[in-house]
Amino acid sequence: MYSLPNAKINIGLRIVGRRPDGYHDLQTVFFPIPLADSLEIEEARRLRKPYEFILSGIALPDDGKDNLVVRVFLALQEEFDLPPTSIFLSKHIPAGAGLGGGSSDAAAMMQLLNDYYHLDLTTVDMEQRLAAFGADCPFFVRNKPMYAEGIGNVFTPVNINLKDKYIVLVKPDIHVSTAEAYAAVTPCQLPNSLYDQLLSTPVQLWRNVITNDFEPYVFRTYPKVAAIKQTLYDMGAIYASMSGSGSAVYGIFGRPIDNAGKVFHDCFTFAASLHFS
C-alpha cells in the first residue's frame, strides 16, 4: 500500500508572542501543494527485526536516521503489536525548506498503517497521536487549507481557493537554522489578525499586506533567497514569499511558467498547477 505525502507552503507568517516554554505563538496559513514524496509499506514477516527502512531520492542530512516515518511506525507497533513491516520512502520534497515534508511523511505513515492493518483510528485519533511528532503533523491528516495559531498546532479551516493559479517553488542550496531564525524575530501584535487580512484581501493585493516575519533576517543573512523572491516578481508573480523559516521561496502566478528550471538552474525548482483548494 502506498501514499503520496504532499508538501505545504505558508501563506503569511507572523510571530506574535514568545511563550514561557521557549516556543513562539504564530499566525500562518498552511496551504497544501502537489509536490510529494512517495511512501509505501508492506507486511514482512520474513524479517528478523521489527522493520526495514529503505530510503531513496533526495538525500537527507542524517541519512534518514531517526526519520519520522520510523518513529511513527515504532509508536504504533508498540501500541497495536504490529508485525514486521517494510517501509520504502522516496524523497522528492527538499528537507529544511519550510515545506513540511517530514511532517507530511509522518501523517501519511500513520494513515497507511491505519488502513493496512485495520487499526480503526479515526481522523481525530490520528491527529492526537501525530501531535507528539511535530506541531504541524496533524495538519496533513485533513490536508486542507488551515489557519494555524498557537505554535502552529491550533487549526481553523480557511476558505482560500487558488485552483486557477500556478506555483513556482524554488529551493536554493542554503540551510536556514530554524532556531536562529526564531531568535532573530521580535514578536509584534498588529491590529488585524492574518486570518482577517487574508479573507478580506484578494490575492492580487497580498503583495502589499501579507508578510513573512522571517524574511528580514533570512534576506539579510542569505541575499540569494531575497534575489529569488525578486526574480519571481520580475517573472510576473502575483504574490511571492518565503515558506516558513526558509529557504524555499514560492511565487503564485496566473499562468503556467515553463522556463523556471532555466531561470533557477542552480536550485531545486518545482512548477505546477495549484489544484488544491
Catalytic residues: 8, 136
Find the DSSP H helices in 117-222. 123-130, 139-142, 178-183, 194-200, 206-209, 215-221
Whether residue 241 contacts residue 255, with contact meaning beta carbons closer than 8 Å, is answered with no
b/e code 173-210 from CB counts within 10 Å (16+ = b): ebebeeeebbebbeeeeeeeebbebbeeeebeebbeeb
Collapsing DSSP to helix, strand or coil, 102 comes out as helix
**CA atoms of 195 and 192, how far apart (whole Å):** 8
Peptide bond into 200 cis (omega under 30): no
- Residue 208, sorted as left (phi over 0), alpha (psi -120 to 50) or beta, turns out to be alpha
Place of cell 484578494: 202
Beta bridge partners of 212: 13
CA angle 193, 137, 185 (to 5 degrees): 45
The single-letter code of the amino acid at 106 is A
